[in-house]
Amino acid sequence: MQTKMYQRVSKLAGFLPVIFFFSGFIWDALTIGRSVATSDLLIFTGYLFAAGMLLYIMSRPSFILVDETTIPKRLHWFFTTGWPYLALQFLYGSLLSALFILYFKSANHALAFLTSILLGVLLIANEFLENAYRRFTLSWALFGLCAILLFNFLLPFLFGSVHPIWFYLSTILGASLVIYLYSKTPQNLGSILPVWLIAGVLMLAYAADMIPPVPLVTRDVAIAYDVKKEDGNYFIIQQRGPIWQFWRKTSNHLKVVPGQRLYCFSPIFAPAGLEVRLYHRWQLYSKKNGWQTQSRIGFDLNGGRNNGYRGYTYKQNISLGEWRVRIETENEKTIAVQSFTVSEETGTPRHIRYKY
């Protein structure tokens, strides 16, 4: 009877990684909002704590060299099967899934998307690494990556600031936590060097603007002809898209008359209590000199709004040509980039009005 039950459980275990992957990813995608909630971070911190404790237990000689005759039968499954490694895989998968979604939602330019893609690759690779977790170097490296990226969210969230100092401090703090836990394991199995390498690479990536200034998230950035606030709502007028462009109603190919003003409208989601000054950097492309800044206009953001903080700036007497607006922090960390072209209006204007 026990043999048949064990066989059934063993067969089920083969499907658990796939079940955990899809169920966990769908759950995270549905429950993690545009702005990070305190409950989300508490859950992710719980995952990290559980993974750390499990890795610490698995690194001890009492687990590796256990004598089956000296442990109660009810605990045989934990010491003599692959369930501890499966549990570690599940915890890492849950953390990587959540971190991928958080960073993906914060990524709105090419370099930041590259970082999100790398996290996505790790998330998928994790589903094939159950046996590899027996090599402790890999286990400590993944634990270090998850700890650092989570701390990168926690400190700006707690202190209400996206100043670069919090990124570098949280990176050092996350790596130090992992190294401290590693130092407390009796045998120091595996190498801890990859954790330092990961911390160094992340700092370089942040300096290169490859990591977005989390936890800020922006969506639906719009270039408009007019922005008006009525009864707490914003109404913006945009260029209507061509008929053949059935997947969207607006266009980023704007037509203007001489002296006309254009607006950049950007809803930005941020946790409650976060106050930061953001900037719209208006840039015009030149074949000779590349992107040239025409103006950099700032506005203050107060986090906590369910629909995001809606900030906008405008450019008067805008030149014809290829434009983009970089939405960035005071320290020039890019949140999003909105590209558009400006040409002369020669016919009847085709505009559309939207409510935000």
How many beta carbons lie within 10 A of that of residue 344, not counting itself? Answer: 9
Residues 46-66 have pLDDT tens digits of 999 999 988 887 776 555 444
pLDDT at 13: 54
How many beta carbons lie within 10 A of that of residue 323, not counting itself? Answer: 24
pLDDT at 150: 93
In contact, 10 and 245? CB cutoff 8 Å: no
Give ∠ CA 167-213-39 in degrees, rounded to 5. Answer: 85
pLDDT at 155 over 50: yes
pLDDT at 144: 94
Q: What distance in Å separates the CA atoms of residue 31 and residue 162, rounded to the nearest whole number?
A: 24
Query: Which whole number is the average pLDDT over 58-79?
Result: 53
How many beta carbons lie within 10 A of that of residue 117, not counting itself? Answer: 13
Closest CA to 30 of 89, 97, 109: 97
pLDDT at 212: 85
Helix (H, G, I), strand (E, B) or coil at 208: coil
- φ, ψ of residue 226 to 5 degrees: the values are -155, 145
The pLDDT confidence band at residue 276, using thresholds 50, 70 and 90, is: confident
pTM > 0.85: no
pLDDT at 342: 94
Residues 158-199 have pLDDT tens digits of 888 888 999 999 999 999 999 999 988 877 777 889 999 999
Q: Which residues pair with 230 in a beta bridge?
A: 233
More confident residue, 170 or 216: 170
Domain ranges of the chain: 2-207, 217-355
pLDDT at 304: 56
pLDDT at 285 over 50: yes
Is the bond into 242 cis (omega within 30 degrees of 0)? Answer: no
């719009």: which residue's tokens?
A: 222
R_g over Cα of the chain? 25
The pLDDT confidence band at residue 5, using thresholds 50, 70 and 90, is: low
pLDDT at 300: 85
Residues 228-256 have pLDDT tens digits of 988 878 899 999 988 887 778 889 999 99
Query: In this structure, which long-range contacts are made by residues 293-297, counting pairs with CB atoms below 8 Å and at least 24 apart in sequence?
Result: 294/319
Contacts of 356 (CB under 8 A, 6+ apart): 220, 233, 234, 235, 236, 265, 267, 307, 310
The pLDDT confidence band at residue 30, using thresholds 50, 70 and 90, is: low
pLDDT at 266 over 50: yes
Share of the chain above pLDDT 90, in %: 32
In this structure, the strands spanning 309-315 and 290-302 are: unpaired
Q: For residue 224, what is the enclosing H or E element?
A: strand 222-224
pLDDT at 284 over 80: yes
Q: At residue 324, what is the residue type?
A: R
Residues 86-138 have pLDDT tens digits of 788 888 888 888 888 888 877 778 888 888 888 888 877 776 665 666 678 88
If one looks up domain 217-355 in CATH, what number appears? Answer: 2.60.40.1930
Compute the mean pLDDT over every residue in the chain, rounded to the nearest whole number: 81
Residue 304's region, left for phi above 0, alpha for psi from -120 to 50, else beta, is: left
Closest CA to 140 of 41, 47, 51: 51
Q: Tokens for 158, please give them.
A: 């707690």
Contacts of 271 (CB under 8 A, 6+ apart): 35, 36, 157, 160, 215, 303, 304
Q: Tokens for 140, please give them.
A: 């400590």
